């Protein structure tokens, strides 16, 4: 059972805490209330810091046990780097994650963190609290071994200047954190637990927050002509679902913005079957749909003043006698005919109908789709950036800026007529795969055929949704990438 984390704020030092944390910038002693706490120990700052080799660099720790004059049984001084380096909000998120990582091995039950410096604005403290929550996340529900001797609850009190403003900022930021954690949970779940029906039911729970949820079953999708999406599910005993989530927090009649997610709950590759090595990772092939669902939770939780649509196509790509074959031709909802020459290029088949349906029904201001779409994007960008493809420069610039602010970075990739010509088919209008060269670009060109001129961006998150290196704010296999990025986009450009 995971440890429970409680985060409080207080206007003055939490004297009852077993462990107190203060901060010191590079080359300077603690300031403000931290200076008073240090002075109470009676120790000479210069002598102690020199002896310990503590310079105040980011990540450095000075640890005092049973300090005289301090109510806490342990005093931690953490370095923040050069003064001013913590000004960027996402640096404060990392600071919170780093702090939680240091607290874990100490087995503390109560901690007071002194945050009264001028840089500790309400927004900054909210980011630190977010970092604490994000780093604390564990997916251990299927572990049967007894937990270690960590306390059942860790209570952290943030000692701040403007408590009401900080509380409001933390609550606002916490909505996005909860969306990210939901996305992580969905991606981490095994496919035998989270199939298309179960995923749709999870999305349906957002109705409790005021999200209007509609779930389309195969018969209705067939009537709409969604043969591209449905062909992917042919080989599975678990039927597909298309889930539509509507958060109408903006003014009535205002054109909505739309987010579309690929939700392949497990991808065998179909008849074009994948190699066995690492196929277990394909339970995460619904990372785009997880991010869209997490985003809708975040928007509803914080009552965002925006009209937003979330659409996820949820399928399993499996193998049996009914599975779609290489060489089969299907007609998408748009009327475009598609030669399925590789059944492992299935995500674009799902998104083709989901995108067309979204633009046709909702007439959005723009559409952004997220998908763990291609291994080629990992070859191009590794695991540090998601791939951005778009038909609109303004939307691209907004996404790039939001990615930097949220520390979920993007890199724009090219589109163009030369690439588009490559996906033309001898037997149908287009084919769903055209070889290895430029694979992520060709996938994006395929998707662009189904946006009908609407401003659109495709985020290929195959390298960022799961299996990434541990960071200050995530040690889980699933990252929840995309929720914070898109919530920042909405906050900065589309609210009101």
CA–CA separation, 128 and 30 (whole Å): 18
Angle of helix 287-301 versus helix 196-204 axis, rounded to 10: 10
Helix/strand/coil (H/E/C) assignment for every residue in the chain: CCCEEEEEEECCCCCCCCEEEEEECCCCCCCCHHHHHHHHHCCCHHHHHHHHCCCCCCCCEEEEECCCCCCCCEEEEEECCCCCCCCCHHHHHHHHHHHHHHHHHHCCCEEEEEECCCCCCHHHHHHHHHHHHHHHCCCCCCCCCCCCCCCCEEEEEEEECCHHHHHHHHHHHHHHHHHHHHHHHHHHCCCCCCCHHHHHHHHHHHHHHCCEEEEECHHHHHHHCCHHHHHHCCCCCCCCEEEEEEEECCCCCCCCEEEEEEEEEEECCCCCCCCCCCHHHHHHCCHHHHHHHHHHHHHHHCCCCCEEEEEEEEEEECCCCCCCCCCEEEECCCCCEEEECCCCCCHHHHHHHHHHHHHHHHCCCCEEEEECCCCHHHHHHCCCCEEEEECCHHHHHHHHHHHHHHCCCEEECCCCHHHHHHCECCCCCEECCCCCCCHHHHHHHHHHCCCCCCCEEEEECCCCCECCCCECCECCCECCCCHHHHHHHHHHHCCC
**Is residue 284 within 8 Å of 466, Cβ to Cβ?**
yes
CA distances from 239 to 310, 315, 342, 356, 429 (A): 20, 7, 21, 21, 27
Contact 45, 18 (CB under 8 A): no
Active site residue 348: yes
Catalytic residue among 82, 274, 409, 412: 274
Residue 161: count other Cβ atoms within 10 Å of its Cβ: 17
Task: Confirm whether 143 is a catalytic residue.
Answer: no
Whole-angstrom distance, CA of residue 452 vs CA of residue 419: 18
Catalytic residue among 283, 302, 348, 488: 348
Distances (CA, A) of 351 to 366, 443, 449: 15, 11, 11
Looking at the annotation, which residues are catalytic?
A: 274, 348
């Amino acid at each position: 059972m995971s440890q429970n984390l409680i985060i409080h704020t207080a206007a003055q030092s939490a004297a009852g805490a077993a462990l107190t944390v203060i901060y010191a910038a590079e080359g300077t002693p603690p300031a403000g209330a931290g200076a008073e706490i240090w002075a109470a120990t009676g120790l000479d700052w210069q002598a102690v810091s020199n002896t310990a080799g503590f310079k105040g660099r980011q990540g450095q720790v000075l640890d005092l046990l049973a300090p005289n004059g301090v109510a806490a049984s342990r005093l931690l001084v953490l370095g923040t780097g050069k003064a001013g380096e913590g000004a960027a909000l996402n640096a404060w998120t990392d600071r919170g994650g780093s702090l939680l990582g240091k607290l874990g091995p100490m087995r503390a039950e109560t901690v007071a963190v002194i945050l009264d410096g001028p840089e500790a604005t309400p927004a900054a403290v909210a980011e630190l609290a977010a970092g604490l929550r994000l780093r604390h996340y564990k997916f251990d529900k299927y572990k049967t071994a007894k937990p270690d001797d960590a306390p059942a609850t860790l209570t952290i009190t943030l000692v701040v200047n403007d408590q009401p403003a900080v509380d409001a900022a933390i609550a606002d930021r916490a909505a996005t954190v909860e969306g990210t954690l939901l996305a992580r949970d969905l991606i981490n779940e095994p496919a035998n637990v989270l199939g298309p029906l179960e995923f749709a039911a999870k999305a349906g729970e957002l109705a409790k927050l005021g999200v209007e949820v509609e779930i389309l079953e195969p018969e209705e999708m067939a009537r709409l002509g969604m043969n591209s999406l449905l062909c992917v599910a042919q080989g599975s005993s678990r039927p597909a679902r298309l889930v539509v989530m509507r958060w109408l927090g903006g003014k009535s009649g205002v054109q909505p913005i739309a987010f579309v997610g690929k939700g392949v709950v497990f991808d065998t590759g179909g008849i074009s079957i994948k190699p066995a090595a690492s196929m277990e990772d394909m339970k995460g092939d619904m990372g785009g749909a997880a991010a869209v669902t997490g985003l809708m939770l975040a928007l509803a939780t914080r009552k965002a003043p925006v009209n937003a649509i979330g659409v996820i196509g949820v399928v399993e790509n499996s193998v049996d006698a009914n599975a779609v074959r290489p060489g089969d031709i299907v007609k998408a909802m748009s009327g475009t005919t598609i030669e399925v020459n590789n059944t492992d290029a299935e995500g674009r088949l799902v998104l083709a109908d989901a995108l067309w349906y979204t633009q046709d029904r909702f007439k959005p201001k723009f559409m952004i789709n997220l998908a763990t779409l291609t291994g080629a994007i990992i070859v191009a960008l590794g695991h540090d950036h998601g791939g951005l493809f778009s038909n609109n420069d303004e939307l691209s610039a907004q996404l790039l800026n939001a990615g930097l602010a949220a520390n979920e970075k993007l890199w724009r990739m090219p589109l163009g007529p030369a690439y588009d010509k490559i996906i033309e088919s001898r037997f149908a209008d287009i084919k769903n795969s055209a070889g290895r060269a430029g694979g992520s670009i060709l996938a994006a060109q395929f998707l662009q055929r189904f946006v009908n001129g609407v401003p659109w961006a495709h985020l290929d998150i195959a390298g960022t949704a799961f299996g990434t290196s541990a960071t200050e704010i995530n040690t889980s296999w699933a990252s929840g990438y995309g929720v914070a990025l898109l919530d920042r986009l909405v906050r900065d450009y589309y609210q009101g």
